[in-house]
Amino acid sequence: MLPTPKKFFLTAGSAEGKNHLNAFDNALLAGKIGNLNLVRVSSILPPGVQYCPNLEIPPGSLVPTAYGYIISDTPGELISAAVGVGFSEDSFGVIMEFSGRCGKEEAEKAIISMLEEAFETRGMKLKGTKIASTEHRVDKIGCALAAVPLWY
């Protein structure tokens, strides 16, 4: 059985690359998670988890992470990615991810709307939120990424 994560942080980064994979890798590096092995997870924040914005995770670690990203090779296009965490009063939280061809303000509005719906659907009260977002104007090949890494 896998242990339940006890810590988390939010991050976002955007970058250019010579190809799609390097644009993605460079966005991970810009978000300070480029030297980790991300294990993509869905969107539940464990109960009692602690927000640690300056958390340092050893390079090469397998890290459960909820993330969204977009890659574009359309010069001049504006792309964005955002993640948001919604907190409940006394239970687990919910993580939402968004990416699209828009600015970060629109991405953040989408995150708030998704968090509100997620809590309403679960019959839970949304106590508070944290959001991280980025936008990027594509030069040649760009990537915008936002993530919530979870740690032990």
Band of pLDDT at residue 1, cut at 50, 70 and 90: confident
pLDDT at 53: 97
Band of pLDDT at residue 113, cut at 50, 70 and 90: very high
Catalytic one of 42, 54, 56, 89: 42
What integer is the mean pLDDT of 18-43? 98
Catalytic one of 37, 77, 91, 113: 37
> What is the set of domains in the chain, with CATH numbers?
7-151 (3.50.20.10)
pLDDT at 141: 98
Q: Is the pTM of this model over 0.85?
A: yes
pLDDT of 32 over the 90 cut: yes
Tens-digit pLDDT profile for residues 52-106: 999 999 999 999 999 999 999 999 999 999 999 999 998 999 999 999 999 999 9
> What does the alpha-carbon distance between residue 49 and residue 105 come to, in Å, rounded to a whole number?
27
Q: Which of 87, 65, 64 is nearest to 3 (CA)?
A: 64
CB 150 within 8 A of CB 11: no
- ∠ CA(59), CA(62), CA(65), 5° rounding? 105
Indicate the SS3 state at residue 122. Answer: helix
Of the chain, the percentage scoring pLDDT greater than 90 comes to: 97
Catalytic one of 14, 26, 43, 80: 43
Catalytic one of 14, 26, 72, 97: 97
Q: How far is CA 150 from CA 6, 78, 110, 122, in A?
A: 7, 29, 22, 22
43 has catalytic annotation = yes
pLDDT at 2: 84
pLDDT at 44: 97
What integer is the mean pLDDT of 125-146? 98
Backbone angles phi, psi at 26, to 5 degrees: -65, -35
